[in-house]
């Protein structure tokens, strides 16, 4: 299966005006966002774009009210001070300022893993069986109902923040201690034993899949952002399997109301077990509407596979804020 991103439609950097590269913020993913933002800022400036770093939403709103920027490249990660939960998007819509990434609905929905999975289930899209945990719910009863092994994770965080892998009953204690001090909802999800893939999305195009092979037992924060021994195989699959995973990722992205660009994470189950709802094939895990743009990040890796370097990728994403390129 071949894929190609359309050629740039904007040929002069001055057409973008002054661009705010929004990074940092106050979410749990601040440090990752700062690194992503610095990379995007350098890439845009290398192409002659009048781009400037802005740290966090309050600083951005002040600058926009003062008329300092014409558009926003959003590379904030996470919620509650991050830029992926729809709050930023709503403010920018109200101010009439164009921005990269999904709109209010897609951002807010996909930030919430539980609601995203509910939408996927209603659309008949495959996703691991799960339980919604409110503050104070019995985690051990939920684990018995699903059957071990499971993952426990905050419904509205990213970058593997607060994720617990529960293989045996004894592993639940750490997750319970975290839950006791966490005010939000938690997702408990059946663990899919198999290969992990991610598919970058740009407009109506699914990029080549990437199969992620961590050196350790699973793809945790260390493997994502620190380790240099994680393998990324791109494309991750061949033939009909590659077509199928890209098609599923694009359908999942659209079902959640997402647009512009992003990333969909998928697992392929290779285990048999009577408590598993889906015995084989791909299962959707989550959506990222402002994917990382660090040295370890995956969308740039997939873009390189089809000949799009990092600077060009950043330019093309910024192009989506322009009327000339909005409908491609």
Task: Annotate 21-75 with DSSP letters as a single string.
Answer: EEE--SSTTHHHHHHHHHHHHHHHHHTT-EEEEEESHHHHHHHHHTT--SEEEE-
Q: Is residue 295 part of a domain?
A: no
pLDDT band at 39 (very low <50, low <70, confident <90, very high): very high
Mean pLDDT for the chain? 89
Give residue 224's pLDDT. 53
Asked about 45 being catalytic, the answer comes back as no
Asked about 182 being catalytic, the answer comes back as no
Asked about 176 being catalytic, the answer comes back as no
The CATH number covering residue 212 comes to 3.30.470.20
Peptide bond into 192 cis (omega under 30): no
Q: Which of 39-48, 96-105, 230-239 has the lowest mean pLDDT?
A: 230-239
Give residue 277's pLDDT. 42
23 forms bridges with which residues in the sheet?
Answer: 55
- The domain in which residue 170 lies consists of 130-190
Catalytic residue among 110, 112, 292, 319: 292
Asked about 288 being catalytic, the answer comes back as yes
Considering the domain architecture, whether residues 122 and 226 belong to the same structural domain is answered as yes
**What predicted TM-score, i.e. pTM, was given to this entire model?**
0.87
Asked about 50 being catalytic, the answer comes back as no
Catalytic residue among 102, 107, 159, 260: 159
Catalytic residue among 101, 288, 297, 319: 288
Asked about 159 being catalytic, the answer comes back as yes
Considering the domain architecture, whether residues 161 and 241 belong to the same structural domain is answered as no
| Number of separate domains in the chain | 3
Catalytic residue among 24, 27, 29, 319: 29
Give residue 220's pLDDT. 55
Catalytic residue among 85, 157, 196, 265: 265
Quick one: CA dihedral 96, 100, 103, 108, positive or negative? negative
Q: Which of 164, 190, 216 is the last residue of a domain?
A: 190
pLDDT band at 78 (very low <50, low <70, confident <90, very high): confident
Asked about 225 being catalytic, the answer comes back as yes
Rounded to 5 degrees, φ, ψ at 252 are -65, -40
Q: Is residue 302 part of a domain?
A: no
Asked about 122 being catalytic, the answer comes back as no
């Amino acid at each position: 299966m071949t894929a190609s991103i359309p050629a740039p439609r904007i040929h002069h950097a001055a057409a973008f005006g002054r661009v705010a590269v929004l990074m940092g913020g106050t979410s749990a993913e601040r440090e990752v966002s700062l690194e992503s933002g610095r990379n995007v800022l350098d890439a845009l400036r290398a192409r002659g774009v009048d781009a400037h770093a802005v740290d966090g939403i309050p600083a951005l709103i002040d600058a926009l009210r003062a008329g300092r920027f014409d558009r926003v490249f959003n590379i904030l990660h996470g919620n509650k001070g991050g830029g992926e939960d729809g709050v930023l998007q709503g403010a920018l819509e109200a101010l009439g300022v164009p921005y990269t990434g999904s709109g209010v609905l897609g951002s807010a929905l996909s930030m919430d893993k539980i609601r995203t999975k509910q939408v996927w289930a209603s659309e008949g899209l495959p996703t691991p069986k799960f339980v919604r945990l409110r503050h104070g719910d019995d985690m051990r009863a939920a684990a018995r109902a699903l059957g071990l092994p499971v993952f426990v994770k905050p419904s509205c965080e990213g970058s593997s923040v607060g994720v617990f892998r529960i293989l045996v009953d004894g592993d639940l204690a750490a997750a319970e201690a975290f839950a006791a001090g966490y005010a939000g909802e938690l997702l408990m999800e059946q663990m899919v034993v198999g290969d992990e893939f991610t598919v970058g999305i740009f407009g109506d195009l699914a990029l080549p899949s990437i199969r992620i092979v961590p050196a350790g037992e699973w793809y945790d924060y260390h493997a994502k952002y620190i380790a240099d021994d994680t393998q990324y195989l791109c494309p991750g699959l061949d033939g009909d399997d590659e077509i199928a995973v890209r098609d599923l990722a694009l359908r999942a992205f659209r079902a959640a109301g997402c647009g512009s660009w992003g990333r969909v994470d998928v697992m392929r189950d290779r285990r048999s077990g009577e408590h598993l709802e889906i015995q084989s094939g791909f299962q959707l895990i989550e959506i990222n509407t402002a994917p990382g743009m660090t040295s370890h990040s995956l969308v740039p890796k997939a873009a390189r596979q089809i000949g799009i370097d990092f600077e060009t990728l950043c330019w093309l994403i910024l192009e989506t804020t322009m009327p000339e390129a909005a409908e491609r």
